[in-house]
Each structure stands twice: as C-alpha cells, then as structure tokens.
Amino acid sequence: MSEQVRDRRRALLELHVHLEGSLSPLLLRTLAERYGQPGVPAACLTPDGSRYLPVAGFAQFLERYKAVVSLLRTPRDYHEAALGLGAALAGQGVIYAEVTVGYGVMHRQGVATEPVQLALHEAAAQVAQERGVRMLWQADAVRQWGADAAWKALEAALRCGPGLGVVAFGVGGDETALPAGDFAPLLAAAAREGFGTTLHAGETGGAASVRDAVLAGAQRIGHATAAGGAPEVLAMMAGAGVFAELCPGSNVATGAVGGYAAHPLRAFLAAGVPCCLNTDDPALFGLSLRGEYERAREALGLLEVEERRMQAQALSACFAPAGIRADMEARLAAGP
C-alpha cells in the first residue's frame, strides 16, 4: 500500500485550531448579510467570494481576524461556525480536535460566554453523532488586555467547565505585550481546577518567550517556532515534557518563517520535544491538517514513523477525559 493511500485513511488529531479562524467563505458571507456588513467579505475574500485573500504578514492577519470575529455575535453564529468546522475536520480524517474559542474577545465585544458555550457544546454533540469527530473546547484570553481580563475569562470558563465541553484554558494574543510570568498564577489556578493550560509563544517573540512560557507553567505551547533555533530551550521543553503545537503553514502565511522548508520541525523532532502539526486558522490561511502533513513530508522529510509518533504524542498531550482518550487511542490503533 502506497504512502499516499495510507495517508488518505490515517486518523488525525488537531490540538491548535481557532474556531474564529475556521469560518468558511460561505459562512462569512452569510454572517455579513445577516448583520449588514458587506465590507467584511469585501476586505477578506476574493472578488468571487470563494476563498480568503492571501495574508501578507502578521499585521494584516490580525486585521483580517478582527474583521471575521466581529461577525460572531450570537450563540447561533457560534453554533453554525462549530458545525462548519466539524464538517471540515471530518473531511480531513480528523477524529479529535481541541478548539480554541476567544472568551476574552467575547467579553470585549459584550457577548455572553455561557449561552455561546452551550451552543458550542450542542454543536459538538451533533458533529460527534453525525460525523464521528470529537470536539472539545479551550477558552482563550488575550495577553495584551492584561491579567485582570484573563482572570475574568478563566472564571467564565470555570462556570461552563467540562459539563459544556471546556477542558482547557490558554492565553493567546500579542506575546510581546506582557511577560508570560504575569499569567503564571492564572495558569496555576486553571490547572488546580483540572484544566489543561497553554500559552502562545515563539511566534512573534523570540526563543526567550518560549522559555518564559515553560517557566510560567504552560503544559503546551502554541507555535513555539523560535525555540527551533535555541537548543537550550528545546532541551528545557523536552526535559519538562512541554508539548509544542506546531503550525508551519500558519507561520509561513504570517511571515514567522521564510518558507515551509525553513520551519524548524526537524529541530523539535531531533531534540525529543513532543509535538504535532496543526492548522491554527485553517480557513483564513487555506490550510487542511492532512495537507500540512503532506507538505511536511515533501518539504521537511517527515517520515511515516515520525508522523505516527506525533499522533501518539498528541493523544498523550490532549486534555480529553479518560473515556474519550481511550476511544481515540482505539481509533488510532485501528488505522492502516
């Protein structure tokens, strides 16, 4: 059986995907019409409305992301977004995803988090039943808005909790705005409540930002790209068992790396840092998880045995409860 055929059948896990960055062009146009905002798709999509325009650097990505998020206003909107993401994941052979949702952004926009989370939980149940994809949720705060706002996001996440599918808490946003250490008490509190913890680091900041995220207590680090050129930080991550949520296609799109072949995936693998590939904002960047693994094979020499190991490490690093984890393990083992 060829590698290409095996790849079409292999089950995949996604640990770093933002719901807001997964809105299809069709849903974006629908929401824009719903709220009378034709300027959003005009600024984000090609003239025929079929796909997102290419991103030219991180600053443009942030502006586009803000525009897209501005159209998510009600539980219905989020429910539709979750159903769309679930369908896209199923089409890629993804069997499990931990989906980041911007609690901090919802608070800033005056959107009540608990009704939204109920809608997301209901959508996830529908996706699991109809498509066989499990989706759990990570509440996300925005670093540049400060620790006080992040505490409010955590409090909202705890009110929802595992009963509504929330299993993790993270801090994204501008990693250069405030030190990671400012959020260490927050991550510790989240961990005490049974949440997994993540921080974005090493995407726009240097290797020191990744080191600081490890010291702040993050169990997983989103991107971590800059650590690839810092053997001492890679050794720290490997020694502490801190998982790297690598997002090569996203990093290329935003300019964090100069090209796919320049991504330091091989440095993470050589250092023994547990990691997997992820899509980050798949609709905005035109990515699929299966496509990311294919590109990694072509541009970075990723081997089948390495890919399988990454999926096993993703299973170990996921924040799913024991029952779901056991089901995912069985489904991975049943693959080709």
Structure confidence by residue, pLDDT tens digits, 318-334: 999 999 999 999 999 88
Percent of the chain with pLDDT over 90: 94
What's the pLDDT at 124?
98
pLDDT digits (tens, 9 = 90+) for 34-69: 999 999 999 999 999 999 999 988 989 999 999 999
What's the pLDDT at 4?
41
Q: From the candidates 175, 203, 245, 307, which is the catalytic residue?
A: 203
Is residue 107 a contact partner of residue 113, using CB atoms and an 8 Å limit?
Answer: yes
3-state SS of 104-172 is HHHHHCCCCHHHHHHHHHHHHHHHHHHHCCEEEEEEEEEHHHHHHHHHHHHHHHHHHCHHHCEEEEEEE
Active site residue 203: yes
pLDDT digits (tens, 9 = 90+) for 183-238: 999 999 999 999 999 999 999 999 999 999 999 999 999 999 999 999 999 999 99
> For residue 277, what are the β-bridge partners?
246
> For residue 101, what are the β-bridge partners?
139
The CATH number for 148's domain is 3.20.20.140
pLDDT at 335 over 90: no
> For residue 81, what are the β-bridge partners?
none
Percent of the chain with pLDDT over 70: 97
Range of the domain at 13: 3-333
- Phi-psi map region of 71: left, alpha, beta (phi>0 left; psi -120 to 50 alpha): alpha
What's the pLDDT at 2?
37
**Which of 297, 241, 251, 245 has the alpha carbon at shortest distance from 273?**
241
Is residue 150 a contact partner of residue 210, using CB atoms and an 8 Å limit?
Answer: no
Higher model confidence: residue 7 or residue 154? 154
End-to-end CA separation in angstroms for the chain: 9
Decide: helix, strand or coil at residue 102: strand
What is the torsional sign of CA 14, 196, 256, 24? positive
**Residue 42: both structure tokens together:** 């005009």
pLDDT at 8 over 60: no
How many other β-carbons are positioned within 10 Å of the β-carbon of residue 336? 10
Report the number of distinct structural domains present in the chain: 1
What is the rounded CA–CA span in Å between residue 271 and residue 236? 10
Is residue 266 a contact partner of residue 31, using CB atoms and an 8 Å limit?
Answer: no
Q: What is the mean pLDDT of the chain?
A: 95
Look-up: residue for tokens 């009378």? 36
Is residue 220 a contact partner of residue 317, using CB atoms and an 8 Å limit?
Answer: yes
What is the torsional sign of CA 284, 289, 291, 292? positive
What is the rounded CA–CA span in Å between residue 117 and residue 19? 12
Provide CB contacts within 8 A for 181, sequence distance 6+.
Answer: 212, 215, 216
pTM for the model stands at 0.95
